[in-house]
């Protein structure tokens, strides 16, 4: 069951990051399939929680450096088959029936996706399409994307773990909003990394990052982290302003979204302190 859980996690990552490589209608399709695999992950996780079984988010490195999207599609299909072989380890018949049905359909749908060359996603040229970046702006953008793509993946998993292990509807509402926001940011940054030729899957998370004992302190630290992210967005917007008005406005947009994230965490903090 724990191997199944890990392989579904890796399947989700492989599918999500393959979506970043695509520049055709395959991208939204892959995003939808990734959404389904993430649901599968949370359902298995809830089964662990319900049966009081300890678990973690440790995964193996997911290789994605390919020249054609068909190579990753074949990899995803092989991962699906490996997951199917282990479904019987989950004793919840409703979960396994639903997962098997999803996997059967997605396998057939993946086989119909068009071929694409995806080498630019890994060429390391750090050239953004139709944008002339100064060396300073290119370096600032590269560093930001690597740091923030990892941070957004981390936040998705941290808030997901908190939500899975909480029965508090008020806090879980906030956790879900933050998960959804981090998905948007991860996808935005992942697509930009692919466009610049620097796409890579984030490293595995250390357990202490999401298995924390003090939610209040975690929220306080999270607020400070978001404040720091806002400053980085401001700096990046300034660095790219001469190169691209669109880039500058995009990072201002992201910066302003962080304001609401801070407000949500402050709301959660006030709720905890009021109990």
Q: Is the dihedral of CA 229, 235, 241, 243 positive or negative?
A: negative
Distance CA 46, CA 161 (A): 10
Using CA atoms of 227, 153, 58, 32 in order, give the dihedral in degrees to the nearest 10. 160
Q: What is the mean pLDDT of residues 58-64?
A: 96
Q: Is the pLDDT of residue 13 over 90?
A: yes
Q: Is the dihedral of CA 151, 176, 250, 127 positive or negative?
A: positive
Q: Is the pLDDT of residue 270 over 90?
A: yes
* 8: Cβ contacts below 8 Å, ≥ 6 apart: 37, 40, 41, 44, 83
How much of the chain exceeds pLDDT 90, in percent?
79
| Range from 6-10, 30-34, 133-137, 201-205 carrying the lowest mean pLDDT | 133-137
Q: Is the dihedral of CA 46, 48, 51, 53 positive or negative?
A: negative
Tens digits of per-residue pLDDT, 89-137?
Answer: 999 999 999 999 999 999 999 999 999 999 889 999 998 888 888 888 8
Reported confidence tier of residue 234, pLDDT bands at 50, 70, 90:
confident
Q: What is the mean pLDDT of residues 220-230?
A: 88
User: Distance from CA of residue 220 to its chain's centroid?
Assistant: 23
Q: Is the pLDDT of residue 243 over 80?
A: no
Domains in the chain and their CATH numbers? Answer: 1-122 (1.20.1260), 124-275 (1.20.1260.10)
Q: Is the pLDDT of residue 241 over 90?
A: no
| Range from 10-24, 35-49, 239-253 carrying the lowest mean pLDDT | 239-253
pLDDT number for residue 132: 82
pTM: 0.95
Decide: 20 and 190 in contact? Cβ < 8 Å.
Answer: yes
Which 3 state secondary structure label does DSSP give 117? Answer: strand
pLDDT number for residue 137: 84
């Amino acid at each position: 069951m724990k191997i199944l859980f890990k392989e579904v996690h890796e399947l989700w990552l492989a599918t999500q990051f393959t979506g970043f490589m695509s520049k055709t209608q395959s991208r939204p399709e892959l995003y939808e399939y990734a959404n389904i695999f993430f649901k599968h992950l949370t359902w298995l996780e809830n089964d662990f929680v319900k049966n009081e079984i300890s678990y973690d988010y440790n995964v193996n490195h997911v290789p994605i450096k390919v020249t054609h999207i068909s190579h990753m599609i074949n990899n995803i299909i092989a991962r699906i088959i490996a997951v199917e072989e282990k479904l019987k380890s989950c004793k919840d018949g409703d979960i396994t029936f639903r997962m098997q049905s999803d996997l059967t359909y997605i396998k057939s749908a993946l086989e119909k996706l068009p071929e694409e060359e995806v080498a630019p996603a890994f060429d390391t040229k750090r050239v953004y399409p139709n944008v002339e970046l100064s060396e300073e702006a290119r370096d600032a953008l590269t560093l930001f994307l690597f740091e923030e793509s990892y941070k957004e993946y981390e936040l998705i998993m941290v808030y997901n773990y908190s939500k899975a292990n909480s029965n508090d509807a008020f806090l879980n509402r906030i956790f879900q909003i933050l998960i959804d926001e981090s998905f948007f940011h991860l996808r935005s940054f992942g697509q930009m990394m692919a466009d610049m030729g620097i796409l890579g899957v984030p490293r595995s998370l250390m357990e202490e990052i999401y298995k924390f004992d003090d939610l209040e302190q975690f929220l306080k630290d999270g607020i400070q982290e978001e404040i720091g992210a806002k400053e980085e967005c401001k700096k990046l917007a300034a660095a790219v302003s001469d190169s691209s008005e669109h880039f500058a406005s995009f990072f201002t947009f992201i910066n302003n979204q962080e304001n609401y994230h801070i407000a949500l965490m402050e709301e959660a903090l006030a709720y905890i302190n009021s109990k």
